[in-house]
Structure 1
Amino acid sequence: MTTTSSADTRFSGQESGPLAQARGLRSFIEQEAGRTESARTMTADLVKAFSESGLFGLMVPTSLGGSEADTRTSLEVFEELAYADGSIGWSLMANASTSCFASIYLDDEPTAALFPSGVAGIHGGMFGPVGKATRDENGFLVDGSYRFGSGTGHADWFAAGFIEQENGEDAALESGMPAMRIAFIPAEQITKRDGWNVLGLKGTGSFDYAVESVHVDEAFTFPLLEPVQHRGGATYQIGMFGLVAIGHAGFALGVGRRALDEVLEVAKTKQRLGGDPIAGQQMFLHEFAMHDAAMRSARAFTYEAFEQAEFTAIAEGAPTPVETQRMRQATTYGTRIAADACRFAYTWAGSDGLREPSIIGRCFRDISASTQHVYVDNNTLTAYTQTLMMFGEPSSF
């Protein structure tokens, strides 16, 4: 079922630029959803559409041909795309985030290769430092087996996190933390594997891949914990973890809202055997109102958290420690609220959510898969409380 919903009017952004491009692709994304899941990655037609729209460069600086979107615009775009199809919202989020980091943290020589003039470079991969690398003459010899390479089904360059080795052991920074770096490697030097047979987010192209003794010039790497921004504006100073959180937050808000919009349409005609029409059942009406309020509240909190962090970054050069953790808190909280909304929608939809193809069923599967991501686990919430106790913050209420 495709509905015309509050999703068409709930955004505050203007109808231009990246958000207008994303909205303009909604019907095509929905049309391709079945093929996307079957292919387990973004279809070639969608890749072409996103390349032509410029959305792969949503978070890339304008100096490299990107949109250099602020936090609100990026959230709105990811939310819109995930509303159309969770897998596409997730996959584009992975590509846009990876391209963002390559574009701001690599120097001029590598960015010229990754972002050739007039070409929409597409980047994906795994930033988790599961690989190992030893220094050679001009860089690193990298080895590693990677999983969850979202967006790599159509990527030109792959990211690969690694820990530098010294005398057979993990090298350490002066802080005592492992010397972790991110390498960018051309797709033709990657050993591509499969491994993406999953319950939800089926169409994200999150395939396994390996890097097998590949030389990477040091210029094509950057330090994971202490990256240096080479280009772009102050929005990027919310930090890598804040920039990653934008995509996860927008995804959850889009999927959760779509599930609620869909079940509201189902309820208008749904009647289970021997029961009253769902639209007339007080329990449904009450529970829907509560989930709707929770989603709207989570959305307001999310936008507030990211915009406040961005405001401080522009004014002070970086968000406060509490603001940094609050972006993670809002992302995890929004994901949980969206998961509750999707579970509610799936339960009340009955067989409409069970039988494929079903948008409600897909939302339920996609949000369930997203809850397993390390980026939204319990540690993000405990870290927020610990940071708040350590640094404090005047109440804004």
Structure 2
Amino acid sequence: MTMNGTVAVDRPRAQEILAYVEKLKPWLRKHQAEAEQQRRVPQETVERLDQAGVFSLTTPTRFGGADFTTRETHDIIRALASGCGATAWVVWAAAGGNLWSCAFPDEVIAPVYETPWVGNRTFALGGTSRRMSGTARQVEGGWMIKGTWPFATGSVHASHGYLAVFHDDTDDAKVGMALVPKEQLVERDDWEAMGLAGTGSQTVATDGELFVPDERFSTPERLSTRIAELTGQGLGPARGGLVRSLIIGAGLALGMADQAMEAFLATIGRRSLPYSPYAQQIEAPVAHHIVGRAHAEIRAAARVADAAVAELDRCQAEATDPTENEALQLHTDAAYVWDTCSRAVETLFRASGASAIVKRNPLQLVTRNCLAGSMHAANHLDTWLENVGRMLCGTDSGPLSASVLERRTS
């Protein structure tokens, strides 16, 4: 039992949640195809995760959410992804989005997180471009917002959304975030994807203009100020912001790679190898080489992730934030993990023969999920190799296209 301000809260323990997720892996693997078919995490899975306290990862610590290290959170996400990559992606995305809870007055945000709820309570999206966000105009007492927000991961199970809106027609720095009850939004149920289809990342939209009162509208400047205030009170979020979320998210790639390796090794002893001198694949030296290479790639990616996790936990212990160059390197590390794991998983998939294309084979689903995750803009390795290369060469470049979580204020 700990004290959160004046409210006593029971905090979950990381090792208990991790142990539960490990026990739940068979269930997650059994139902990951169902998640893809339903294009959302099955409700029974959500309920089982909720009972275990997994969704405490998606709740701010000052409202009783998990207060875990980067290491602990990364390990939980990796274990979840080893069971079902889509389910883990939803938990991870919702956890990162709750940083925006810091941008609103506690009397406004507290009911969102303190009202009884099963699953993730909020989702957050938009801000990297106008195409991915809405617009807002100021009126007496608030704002009129309208727009369409694609890729709304976590919106299926949430009660509220944090929606980015641009409130100036010409200045892309004029961006805000509106806190909107999901019941006021239109859910388009249009998530048809080749990978991570089970995340339910549908489009949400307003039906014309929607009034948002002033207390439910915030800005990156208010977010930065409020985070500083909460940190000074010992109630702030963990250090690292979005870059911490991306390093934790690298556990998704590693978890899916873990599942792919297990699936491959489970059948290699009974898989035939037509048109070759070998009756079974396990007899072929090339199969041993493939397994060894994939294992080395996954292990190397894990070592990169481990170093990044340790760096962020060091920052937390020392009460410092990563420097701009450190954050850039950490971004690149996360992208490297995704790229390396995706290639390793595809190698195992290709070595599984034509039978692997059958949808009842879990390896094809894991391969598509991992590839889809690696194609997310935040995880695209070529972009981050250029960015870190420019930094190392001392080459000037324009400001990065960053999300509202990373915008710097003067």
With normalisation by structure 1, the TM-score equals 0.86
Deviations 1:106-142 (A, max 9, x none): 3302221211255455212423352111122233211
Distance 1:133 1:20 in 2: 45
In structure 2, the residue matched to 1:249 is 250
In structure 2, the residue matched to 1:340 is 343
Q: Percent identity?
A: 21
In structure 2, the residue matched to 1:374 is 377
Which of 94, 104, 107 is 1:106 aligned to? 104
Query: Contact 1:79/1:253 (CA < 8 Å) preserved in 2?
Result: yes
- Between stretches 227-236 and 135-144, larger displacement belongs to 227-236
Deviations 1:22-61 (A, max 9, x none): 2232222223223211110011111212222221221534
Query: Contact 1:36/1:42 (CA < 8 Å) preserved in 2?
Result: yes
Query: Contact 2:34/2:42 (CA < 8 Å) preserved in 1?
Result: yes
In structure 2, the residue matched to 1:3 is none
Using a 3 Å threshold, how does the CA distance of structure 1 residues 18 and 384 change in structure 2: closer, same or farther? Answer: farther
* 1:381 to partner: Cα distance: 2.4
In structure 2, the residue matched to 1:272 is 273
Using a 3 Å threshold, how does the CA distance of structure 1 residues 138 and 373 change in structure 2: closer, same or farther? Answer: same
Does the residue aligned with 2:161 lie in a helix, a strand or coil?
A: strand
In structure 2, the residue matched to 1:329 is 332
Distance 1:141 1:247 in 2: 35
In structure 2, the residue matched to 1:22 is 21
Query: Contact 2:298/2:341 (CA < 8 Å) preserved in 1?
Result: yes
Query: Contact 1:132/1:143 (CA < 8 Å) preserved in 2?
Result: yes
Which of 181, 187, 202 is 2:182 aligned to? 187
How many correspondences in the alignment?
A: 368
- Between stretches 224-233 and 67-76, larger displacement belongs to 224-233
Query: Contact 1:238/1:310 (CA < 8 Å) preserved in 2?
Result: no
In structure 2, the residue matched to 1:131 is 134
Give runs of ≥4 in structure 1 deviating > 6 Å. none
Distance 2:392 2:103 in 1: 29
In structure 2, the residue matched to 1:394 is none
In structure 2, the residue matched to 1:358 is 361
Using a 3 Å threshold, how does the CA distance of structure 1 residues 382 and 306 change in structure 2: closer, same or farther? Answer: farther
Which of 300, 325, 328 is 1:297 aligned to? 300
Using a 3 Å threshold, how does the CA distance of structure 1 residues 309 and 125 change in structure 2: closer, same or farther? Answer: closer
Residue 191 of structure 2 corresponds to residue 196 of structure 1: yes
Query: Contact 2:124/2:152 (CA < 8 Å) preserved in 1?
Result: yes
Distance 1:387 1:309 in 2: 20
Residue 211 of structure 2 corresponds to residue 215 of structure 1: yes
Deviations 1:82-102 (A, max 9, x none): 11011111112122222x313
* 1:185 to partner: Cα distance: 0.8
Distance 1:291 1:189 in 2: 47
Residue 261 of structure 2 corresponds to residue 260 of structure 1: yes
Letter in 2 for 1:52: Q
In structure 1, the residue matched to 2:78 is 79
In structure 1, the residue matched to 2:238 is 236
* 1:75 to partner: Cα distance: 0.9
Query: Contact 1:312/1:320 (CA < 8 Å) preserved in 2?
Result: no
* 1:247 to partner: Cα distance: 4.4
Letter in 2 for 1:140: W
Distance 1:33 1:200 in 2: 12
Letter in 1 for 2:31: E
Using a 3 Å threshold, how does the CA distance of structure 1 residues 245 and 225 change in structure 2: closer, same or farther? Answer: farther
Distance 1:15 1:155 in 2: 23
Does the residue aligned with 1:170 lie in a helix, a strand or coil?
A: coil
* 1:236 to partner: Cα distance: 2.1
In structure 1, the residue matched to 2:121 is 122
Query: Contact 2:126/2:149 (CA < 8 Å) preserved in 1?
Result: no
Letter in 1 for 2:209: S
CA RMSD after TM alignment: 2.3
- Between stretches 56-65 and 153-162, larger displacement belongs to 56-65
Residue 44 of structure 2 corresponds to residue 45 of structure 1: yes
Using a 3 Å threshold, how does the CA distance of structure 1 residues 224 and 249 change in structure 2: closer, same or farther? Answer: farther
Using a 3 Å threshold, how does the CA distance of structure 1 residues 81 and 288 change in structure 2: closer, same or farther? Answer: same
With normalisation by structure 2, the TM-score equals 0.83
In structure 2, the residue matched to 1:206 is 201
Residue 170 of structure 2 corresponds to residue 170 of structure 1: yes
Using a 3 Å threshold, how does the CA distance of structure 1 residues 64 and 234 change in structure 2: closer, same or farther? Answer: closer
Query: Contact 1:60/1:68 (CA < 8 Å) preserved in 2?
Result: no
Using a 3 Å threshold, how does the CA distance of structure 1 residues 58 and 93 change in structure 2: closer, same or farther? Answer: same
Does the residue aligned with 2:151 lie in a helix, a strand or coil?
A: strand
Deviations 1:160-211 (A, max 9, x none): 111112xxx234xxxxx61222222101111110221111111100001102
Distance 2:254 2:337 in 1: 7
Query: Contact 1:64/1:103 (CA < 8 Å) preserved in 2?
Result: no
Letter in 1 for 2:271: K
Letter in 2 for 1:315: E
Distance 1:304 1:286 in 2: 27
Using a 3 Å threshold, how does the CA distance of structure 1 residues 226 and 376 change in structure 2: closer, same or farther? Answer: farther
Query: Which runs of 5 or more structure 2 residues have no equivalent in the other structure?
Result: 1-12, 396-410
In structure 2, the residue matched to 1:227 is 223
Which of 142, 146, 149 is 2:149 aligned to? 146
In structure 2, the residue matched to 1:5 is none
